[in-house]
């Protein structure tokens, strides 16, 4: 019997194919891993409402990491605890005010499953409407009263760099920021020190699974800490080079069942 493992899956570009579905083969291997007693969890930058359907599709029974570690909870066990680490409201207001000095399209604040738009924006509303959030539109300085889980700044590609430089200069000790993968020129801001790795640590402690028995899969810069924290950090074949450098191993792409192929062999599942 293989020792019990914790398997952490990023969603976009990792578990999900480019059409945002999970391949039947990957689903079959994940089920087999769970049948063998391994724990499978999701660790994503998405809010819970945009990952809940996938959680249920895989029949998971584990806690989930959302907003890159800013929100961690157990959908099936309310006694497990809820860890929400939002941004400071004053810092948020400072950032919104500072953005007025730069060129940007919109600022979006998410408070767990509520979404606040600085400007009305049909295109973005479409992207964020997954899971039917409560939506408020209007000047964030007036309408946003609760500390947000994350802030997103949507701007032109050349302006993203300038705004990020300002954020690093002024707020480096309070926030962490990353940019989304193309085609979205979006800066994502969360409280400093948060990452998916924090969620992995909480969940592995809960299941008493040692760090060496954590297998994590990812493809983007928000997976750096998780891939480095896991005993086996696996980069997808389609991952950015900076992640591949940090990974212990590289598997096939998200279109080629990279997760299934890797887990089947690593855990001796004999599912293929």
| Residue ranges in the chain assigned as alpha helix (H) | 24-35, 52-57, 89-99, 122-128, 140-143, 157-171, 196-207, 224-229, 241-246, 258-266
Which residue, among 254, 234, 91, 58, has the nearest Cα to 176 in the 3D structure? 91
pLDDT in tens, 194-216: 999 999 999 999 999 999 999 99
Region 232-258: mean pLDDT is 98
CA torsion, ordered 116, 196, 180, 232, to nearest 10 deg? -160
Q: Does domain 6-84+194-266 have CATH number 3.90.1150.10?
A: no
pLDDT score recorded for residue 149: 96
Residue 137 is inside which H or E element, if any? strand 134-137
pLDDT score recorded for residue 113: 86
From edge to edge, which strands make up the β-sheet containing 106-111? 134-137, 114-117, 106-111, 150-154, 186-191, 175-179
Residues labelled catalytic: 10
Contact 224, 176 (CB under 8 A): no
Instruction: Kindly tell me if the per-residue pLDDT of 2 is higher than 80.
Output: no
Backbone φ and ψ for 168, nearest 5 degrees, come out as -65, -40
pLDDT score recorded for residue 144: 93
What integer best gives the mean pLDDT of the chain? 93
Paired sense of beta strands 175-179 and 186-191, if any: antiparallel
What pTM did the predictor assign? Answer: 0.92
Which residue ranges make up each domain of the chain? 6-84+194-266, 89-191
Contact 43, 256 (CB under 8 A): no
84 DSSP β-pair partners:
71
Between the alpha carbon of residue 168 and those of residues 102, 156, 159, the distances in Å are 15, 18, 14
Paired sense of beta strands 232-235 and 214-218, if any: parallel
What whole-number distance in Å separates Cα of residue 167 and Cα of residue 181? 19
Contact 74, 55 (CB under 8 A): no
CATH architecture of the domain covering 89-191: 2-Layer Sandwich (3.30)
Instruction: Kindly tell me if the per-residue pLDDT of 1 is higher than 60.
Output: no
Instruction: Kindly tell me if the per-residue pLDDT of 27 is higher than 90.
Output: yes
Backbone φ and ψ for 18, nearest 5 degrees, come out as -65, -25
Task: Tell me which long-range contacts 225-231 makes (C-beta under 8 A, separation of at least 24).
Answer: 225/195, 225/196, 225/197, 226/8, 226/10, 226/43, 226/195, 226/196, 226/197, 226/200, 228/197, 229/197, 229/200, 229/201, 230/8, 230/200
Q: How many Cα atoms within 13 Å fall on the side-chain side of residue 147?
A: 12
pLDDT in tens, 70-117: 999 999 999 999 999 999 999 999 999 999 999 999 999 999 989 999
pLDDT in tens, 160-175: 989 999 999 988 889 9
What whole-number distance in Å separates Cα of residue 102 and Cα of residue 192? 23
Contact 6, 60 (CB under 8 A): no
pLDDT score recorded for residue 173: 87
pLDDT score recorded for residue 122: 75
């Amino acid at each position: 019997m293989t020792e019990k493992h914790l398997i952490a899956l990023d969603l976009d570009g990792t578990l999900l194919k480019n059409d945002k579905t999970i391949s039947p083969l990957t689903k079959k291997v994940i089920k087999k891993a769970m049948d063998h007693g391994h724990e499978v969890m999701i660790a994503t930058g998405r809010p819970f409402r945009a990952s809940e359907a996938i959680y249920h599709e895989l029949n998971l029974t584990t806690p989930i990491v959302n907003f890159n570690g800013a929100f961690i909870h157990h959908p099936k066990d309310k006694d497990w605890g809820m860890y929400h680490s939002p941004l400071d409201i004053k810092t948020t207001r400072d950032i919104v005010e500072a953005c007025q000095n730069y060129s940007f399209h919109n600022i979006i604040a998410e408070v767990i499953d509520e979404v606040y738009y600085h400007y009305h924006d049909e295109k973005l509303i479409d992207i964020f409407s997954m899971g039917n959030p409560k939506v408020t539109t209007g000047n964030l300085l007036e309408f946003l009263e609760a500390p947000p889980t994350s802030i997103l700044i949507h701007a032109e590609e050349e302006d993203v760099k300038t705004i990020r430089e300002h954020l690093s200069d002024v707020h480096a000790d309070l926030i962490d920021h990353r940019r989304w993968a193309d085609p979205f020129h979006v800066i994502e801001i969360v409280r400093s020190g948060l990452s998916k790795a924090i969620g992995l640590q909480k969940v592995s402690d809960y299941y008493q699974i040692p760090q060496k028995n954590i297998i994590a899969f990812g493809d983007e810069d928000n997976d750096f800490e998780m891939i480095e924290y896991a005993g086996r950090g696996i980069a997808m074949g389609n991952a950015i080079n900076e992640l591949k450098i940090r990974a212990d191993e590289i598997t096939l792409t998200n279109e080629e069942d990279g997760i299934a192929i890797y887990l089947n062999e690593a855990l001796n599942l004999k599912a293929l």
